[in-house]
Chain A
Amino acid sequence: MKKLFFLLSIFLLLLSTVFYAQEKTIQDKNGQNECLNCHKSDENLPDDFKSYDVHITAGLTCADCHGGDPTSDDEDIAMSKKNGFVGVPSRKDIPQFCGRCHSDFKFMKNYRPEVETDQVKQYYTSIHGIQLKKGDKNVAVCTSCHTAHSILPPKDPRSSVYALNVPATCNKCHGDKKLMDKYNLPSDIYKKYVNSVHGIDLLKNKDVTGAPACNDCHGNHGATPPGVSSIVNVCGTCHVNNYNYFKASKMGKDWEGDNDYHGCVTCHNNHDIKKPNDSFVGVGDDALCSDCHDKGDKGYEEAKKIHQELTNLSTLYDSAKVKLIKVKQLGMDDISIGFMLKDAHQAMIKARTTVHTFSSAKVAELTVPGIKIANNAIKKADEEISDYHTRRYGLGAATIAILILIIGLYLKLKGLNKPEA
């Protein structure tokens, strides 16, 4: 009897936990929050958003943004102005709507102390913000980029503002020809970007930490095209040496201020930046220098010389590389040659950057030693290759010895076959 009682109580205990658990989940979803009972199939609410949206996962509820009384299942009470119901903010009000919390440093500190709280301020300095203030309803507001209900932090690969997704997000509007035409803006930026060095590195090579997305040059909340005079600075944040060389050059100085030449962009373009090669500089068909410099002027000659220096080194470097592969293939010692080539390569890379001094003398300071190293590497490789082939002397000597032995044996055998005298 006692035993039975014991078992029964255990059973009941187990049963109650099961019920309790069920109760709890229901309460979490709906207990205090009647909103979703009606808004379940609201098209504004993406499937499953409850499982990942930052606000919901941080414990905020519908009412925390939209106001109203979520405990009531009576529409009139729940969504009454009296209870602070805001509903869907008008587009014009969205920045302030989000800013209620996001501009409140004290509030944000409770959740993400590392996040800045000046986004709204920044936003109103952007073209988007300025236009919005003017009553333009086409421009981007917070939700255009971040979405309304499936917001994720920018480091999350699923986020619409994750580096890899930024270009597509911007392109939602900036790729819309009809819309862009209204503002006299190009709508093919995305297409250009995708095939540029930056686009390929970001989107194809997934170089999230290295390659710039739209916002890395344009800013995000304060998005504006970089001003003509700031272009050099913007590129220069990553391309530091190029920036320094260019700034210090005569051309860099001449181009300062407002005129038709805009630093980096003038030669490299902005969104469709191609991987540069040595024929960019010089006077050939692909060369950019000859766009301005005509035969006979000093720049023309200088460009020609710079090109010559670069190609001298790079062709030599390439042939040294071919030799190195051959040496490796043969299984000869390639390690020291490999290191020499690394040095030559370094000289080449540096020389390419010094192009931005527009001085053939400065370029030659690097290419001349580089050429010397590459030549040494080729010489060493040739030595290894010929070493490989001139093991023949030893073979010759060995063959002679073996041949004598063979002849001796042969004579001996001939003797054996004859009956002994």
Chain B
Amino acid sequence: MIYREAGQFKTSYAADQAIFPILQDRIALAILLAVAFVAVPLMASDYFLSTILIPFLVFAVAAIGLNILTGYCGQLSLGTGGFMACGAYAAYKLATGFPELNIVLVFLLSGGVTALVGVAFGVPSLRIKGFYLAVATLAAQFFLIWLFTKVPWFVNYSASGVISAPPRAVFGWFVTGIEATPQAKYVFCLGFVAVLALVAKNLVRGRIGRAWMAIRDMDIAAEIIGIRPLHTKLLAFAVSSFYCGVAGALWAFIYTSSVEALAFDINRSFQILFMIIIGGLGSILGSFLGAAFIVMLPIFLNSVPTAMGVPLSTSMIAHMEFMIFGGLIVFFLIVEPHGLARLWQIGKEKLRLWPFPH
């Protein structure tokens, strides 16, 4: 009886089209944002911020990126890691090449560079679909990582090939480099994520998002309505790669403080893909849920059995992680392709009717 829209009549189409049409949802979101921006940095431990929350936020950006391409536009990609690497190296080159450039701009431009690369690798999507496109994006993955490890220009000719992110500040606060506190890094990341998530939501609920979904669901009908497949798919590749690029830059500069190609190998691509499958294909919320799930699961496996008095060995945890992922992916692909986001929605629908069964 508490959660429902009773008495909340939508009197305009604008209200009906809002992201959160139900008042309780808007209140919940406001509370969530307040907690995330204010309470968490004040209260959370440094460890919690830098090993759980920051990677979660970075993963969420990458998952949104892949979800735009795969979940919304239906183009399966295994090149996420490569595009993230692209963003990371672009950010490094931009930050070291133009030390005066504001770090926010550096990240946005890195996204822009990655978008161009993504478009280039997206061109074959007009001709090939499904499995074959996945293989083509796999080629992008391997090519990009190979390029970044083989060409010394990308690492400014550093001998070791591993380079650390230069320190940069926003409004006088260091957000990258050794002087940056976990709190500053976290808030900076969160700001990025909040804005990028809102933009993604805006795109997918409007004209462009409908064009993507039309291509995904029935490309022939989409074409006959007047949607141009190539434009639409390339736009999805561009936007998706932009997000992945920014995620890569955030990863290298904020999360690990070092730029290395190994962090973005094929395993990363699969990991992000698992996130959107578990979280929910074609859902921005699902991207967050999937990212949270994948970040939390190892921690959960680490701490809960220990607390219950049956500590698991590290290798056991790693194996269990694989098994749980495998099982869940099979489950979600077969039973609920819309993932955790859909389960969440079903839960809310039930709650709306509660306590009456119908």
Are A and B genuine complex partners?
Answer: no
| Chain B interface (Cβ < 8 Å from any Cβ of A) | none
